[in-house]
Amino acid sequence: AQSVAQPEDQVNVAEGNPLTVKCTYSVSGNPYLFWYVQYPNRGLQFLLKYITGDNLVKGSYGFEAEFNKSQTSFHLKKPSALVSDSALYFCAVRDGGSGAGSYQLTFGKGTKLSVIP
């Protein structure tokens, strides 16, 4: 079974400060890791993913995430937060093995990010 934990329901950060949204995962095979963002009354939008290669992944809107295999973590980061970054952020994991079962993405509960002007 695969699972994702986002330990913080809410993260508050001042505009211009760096932000981190935490994510840890559990999967039996190689992890495929994703971050999505959801703005109010909208669907989820893809931000970035880690499949293989460099542990630091860069994505949309200046976000990046660092894959840490030993800590089974995939924290989302941004050097300087904007008010417009305020949204709900979801981490997700998929088992990178073969077979139809590996198509399934498991999402965390989500973390609400509030960037304070």
Partner 1 sequence: DAGVIQSPRHEVTEMGQEVTLRCKPISGHNSLFWYRQTMMRGLELLIYFNNNVPIDDSGMPEDRFSAKMPNASFSTLKIQPSEPRDSAVYFCASSLVPASSYTFGSGTRLTVV
Taking the complex as a whole, how short is the minimal distance between the CB of residue 75 and partner 1, in angstroms?
A: 18
Contact status: 106 vs partner 1 (CB under 8 A):
yes
Of the candidates 40, 24, 27, 45, which has an alpha carbon nearest to the alpha carbon of residue 91? 24
Count of residues that bind partner 1 according to CB under 8 A: 25
Count other C-beta atoms under 10 Å from residue 71's C-beta.
Answer: 10
| Angle 65-111-60 from CA coordinates, rounded to 5° | 40
Burial of 44 (C-beta count, 10 Å sphere; 0-12/13-18/19+): middle
Contact status: 12 vs partner 1 (CB under 8 A):
no
- Say how far apart CA 50 and CA 82 lie, in whole Å: 24
Contact status: 107 vs partner 1 (CB under 8 A):
yes
Taking CB under 8 A as the binding criterion, the range among 15-23, 70-78, 79-87, 99-107 that sits at the site for partner 1 is 99-107
Contact status: 5 vs partner 1 (CB under 8 A):
no
**Chain residues in the site for partner 1 (CB under 8 A):** 32, 34, 36, 42-46, 49, 51, 90, 94, 96, 98, 100-110
